[in-house]
């Protein structure tokens, strides 16, 4: 599969819960396992996927989607740990706390 010689196709519906389990089982079988990420200003930190502390990589910030509101959204890729609703996280490069 990883040689990219074929493209798997699944049919299903998340609304009706048809084919979802089949898709997830096959997806975890053919996808690559999580890998460590290099972090820090000089790459001096390695974050492993099995680390208990929550870490993430902000890959996109979007603001002012509605001119009537001061809205902002951050897209984060979880690198380690577990993300829970209403948890307090810190954006280390700015040392600001964000409630997500």
Higher pLDDT, 40 or 75: 75
- Is the whole-model pTM more than 0.85? no
Summarised one tens digit per residue, pLDDT across range 21-48 is 999 999 999 888 888 888 777 778 888 8
Average pLDDT in the chain? 82
What is the arithmetic mean of pLDDT over 65-80? 84
Inform me whether the pLDDT recorded for 90 exceeds 60: yes
Count how many residues are written for the chain: 100
Sequence ranges of the domains in the chain = 1-32, 35-99
Q: What one-character-per-residue DSSP string does 18-78 give?
A: BSHHHHHHHHHHHSPPP--EEESTTS-EEE-TT-SS-EEEEEEEEE-SSTTS--EEEEEEE
Q: What is the pLDDT of residue 100?
A: 43
């Amino acid at each position: 599969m990883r040689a990219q010689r074929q493209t798997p196709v699944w049919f299903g519906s998340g609304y009706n819960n048809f084919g979802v389990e089949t898709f997830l089982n096959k997806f975890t079988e053919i996808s690559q396992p999580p890998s460590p990420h290099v972090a820090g200003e000089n790459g001096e930190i390695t974050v492993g996927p099995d680390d208990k502390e929550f870490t993430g990589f902000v890959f996109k910030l979007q603001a002012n989607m509605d001119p009537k509101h001061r809205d902002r959204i951050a897209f984060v890729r979880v690198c380690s740990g577990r993300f829970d609703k209403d948890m307090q996280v810190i954006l280390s490069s700015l040392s600001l706390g964000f409630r997500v």
